[in-house]
Structure 1
């Protein structure tokens, strides 16, 4: 006799229960993916489907459930019978689902109490800022300081509107963002206050797991006039008192330079218990102001999964082996030297390369074939190529930073180039580190080498080593459709 998937012989009572379940399915589908609601009436009647010995071992059922989408497991499979409900509700199921999908806490010594909640919050990570791209005017933003000319936009400037938005005049990376917020002349700041509990992150979850909090913001000057950009992000307690603050130095744009969109990122970690709110504030000023857009605040409960790639293709990226691996292109002033980091940098990098009063440039040439990336792979897959570089000034001297990364053909002729405007950091800037990053995509066939060149100098022409510092540089390759988050076990199919 044919058995139902619950593992028992069909009976009229079980059939009736199944029909009633079908009628109520639309109502149940409306429940949240992490809900625990099931009627007592259903649990009583479902015993009829599990009264006989199961024909399918529970271990097999568990394996089947682990290979189904999580939302179907919660909304459908959990309602089949009592045994399945117990499996879906068990911590073991969600712990194993997290393990197989590579979702693990950053700190293994603090495992989550609720693995199901951890799974869904990790899997469906989202931007907690509302209206980050100016698509809804200034909705959701609180104006903290409104300069003499206020925040305005090209679209409504002539109409006299107090607040509005503007279309991007400069192409945003990947052309994914089309609008931005604009300041003019005097200081303009706006902010959002994020209530973590209202966003689904309970007090217990934040205090026990202390997930990493990643912030990001994009900015660029409005025109070729000088301007400045400012950012502050605070983790607040229940009384809205700061527990931790990220407040990097102001970024000054010199007059007469055409700068691209720049990104600033930071990750809060090990901030302790008590975080209940996040306050995100940014803005700037200048003759024609600053533009900001695509801001984000994300809670990251799970550790980032390993990329399907070799490690960083640059040798000696953080000055741990002196200048080994680098070709010196320019060594002006008192030449390149190695220094210790005065301020910490992500990944606990402790040393850096330091420039002098004359221009200092250094370079590495990466042979992709020698690194294991065949011509066929590069031409057919055209994987994403992500470059990253960290730079920081001294507080007591102005400095200048520059970078150029080229994708080269077999004859070492450039196919694609990333060379943003020089970054000029003023005297008395904070000694915070800043990241410059870019992703090459859709660059076409023929890429065989990558040439990475960076450096700078000080702007005061002081003897010694008061110029820009660089470290933690990287060139990483990953398949485009994997978005850099594949587990290491999947690498073989790409190589």
Structure 2
């Protein structure tokens, strides 16, 4: 066994995992693909789940200029888009005059992880099928009963074949406000051969009312673990 292959086997305890001699084990070892976060720029809002989310001050005077519907931070490595939602007129009596009401939007962030480019090898993904752990954190808020969605897909080599997927759309209890971070996670295991990419997407509900008030996210992660469980 080569020195680099031995280092990989020992560091990750890969008992029973296929480790072909044709693999460039030095590159695999230096990439350290197992047990680290494979997402780039996992906390673009610049906040940490280990400290309380910042409090938002509601403006009393309308903001001058056109409304902004996207947060103004560095979203490098993410593909982003905004869906501005129509006004919700439910509960407003006919003929009533409404001076102000909030305008909501969904802000979508997505990223595709190339598992082979990150150092994983085909035999491991197809035969051993290590656990792929997904985790995300979002800010509890009073903006709406639905402020966060998570959608993750395991894709084949063509980037369009969905081998496995998971979605989460939690509902907020607006009667018990604590303004903390909420975690959402999922473990992919026994997903079958052919996985080459992970498509990670989350959607955050934002509100415009005299100013921009967004839902924050933090510490998004995709981690491949050197273990496996049965399907």
Does the 8 A contact of 1:357 with 1:461 survive in 2? yes
Measured in 2, the distance between the counterparts of 1:438 and 1:406 equals 11
**1:329 positional shift:** 3.3
Which residue in the other structure is 2:221 paired with? 474
**1:479 positional shift:** 2.2
**1:310 positional shift:** 4.7
Does the 8 A contact of 1:401 with 1:424 survive in 2? no
Which residue in the other structure is 1:327 paired with? 79
The question of 1:312 aligning with 2:60 is answered no
Alpha carbons of structure 1 residues 440 and 318: separation in structure 2 relative to 1, 3 Å: same
Does the 8 A contact of 1:382 with 1:479 survive in 2? no
Measured in 1, the distance between the counterparts of 2:43 and 2:177 equals 22
Which residue in the other structure is 1:439 paired with? 187
Which residue in the other structure is 1:380 paired with? 127
**1:324 positional shift:** 1.0
Which residue in the other structure is 2:167 paired with? 419
Any unmatched runs of 5+ in structure 2? Answer: 1-31, 47-72, 86-102
Which residue in the other structure is 2:151 paired with? 404
Superposed, 1:103-142 pairs within 5 Å as none
Does the 8 A contact of 1:402 with 1:421 survive in 2? yes
**1:332 positional shift:** 4.0
**1:454 positional shift:** 0.2
Instruction: Calculate the aligned-residue CA RMSD, in Å.
Output: 2.7
Q: Name the SS for the 1:419 alignment partner.
A: strand
**1:442 positional shift:** 0.2
Measured in 1, the distance between the counterparts of 2:81 and 2:175 equals 26
Alpha carbons of structure 1 residues 385 and 463: separation in structure 2 relative to 1, 3 Å: farther
Superposed, 1:39-50 pairs within 5 Å as none
Measured in 2, the distance between the counterparts of 1:427 and 1:463 equals 24
State the TM-score, normalized to the length of structure 2. 0.58
Moved over 4 A (4+): none
Measured in 2, the distance between the counterparts of 1:332 and 1:463 equals 16
Over residues 66-100 of structure 1, what are the superposed CA-to-partner deviations in whole Å (9 max), with x where a residue is unaligned? xxxxxxxxxxxxxxxxxxxxxxxxxxxxxxxxxxx
Q: Name the SS for the 1:383 alignment partner.
A: coil
Alpha carbons of structure 1 residues 389 and 360: separation in structure 2 relative to 1, 3 Å: same
**1:331 positional shift:** 5.6
Does the 8 A contact of 1:393 with 1:425 survive in 2? no
1:448 is matched with which residue: 173, 196, 208?
196
Alpha carbons of structure 1 residues 464 and 425: separation in structure 2 relative to 1, 3 Å: farther
**1:316 positional shift:** 0.6
Measured in 2, the distance between the counterparts of 1:411 and 1:330 equals 27
Which residue in the other structure is 1:370 paired with? 117
Measured in 2, the distance between the counterparts of 1:454 and 1:425 equals 20
Which has more radius of gyration? 1
The question of 1:392 aligning with 2:139 is answered yes
Does the 8 A contact of 1:400 with 1:468 survive in 2? yes
Alpha carbons of structure 1 residues 332 and 317: separation in structure 2 relative to 1, 3 Å: farther
Measured in 1, the distance between the counterparts of 2:139 and 2:34 equals 28
Superposed, 1:196-211 pairs within 5 Å as none
Measured in 2, the distance between the counterparts of 1:426 and 1:467 equals 16
Over residues 369-391 of structure 1, what are the superposed CA-to-partner deviations in whole Å (9 max), with x where a residue is unaligned? 10011111100110000000001
**1:358 positional shift:** 0.8
Work out the number of aligned pairs and report it.
152
Any unmatched runs of 5+ in structure 1? Answer: 1-306, 334-355, 483-495
Measured in 1, the distance between the counterparts of 2:212 and 2:180 equals 18
- Structure with the larger RCO, 1 or 2 (CA within 8 Å, 6+ apart): 2
Measured in 1, the distance between the counterparts of 2:35 and 2:226 equals 12
Which residue in the other structure is 1:264 paired with? none
Measured in 1, the distance between the counterparts of 2:109 and 2:210 equals 20
**1:313 positional shift:** 0.3
Q: Name the SS for the 2:42 alignment partner.
A: coil
Does the 8 A contact of 1:367 with 1:450 survive in 2? yes
Q: Name the SS for the 1:416 alignment partner.
A: strand
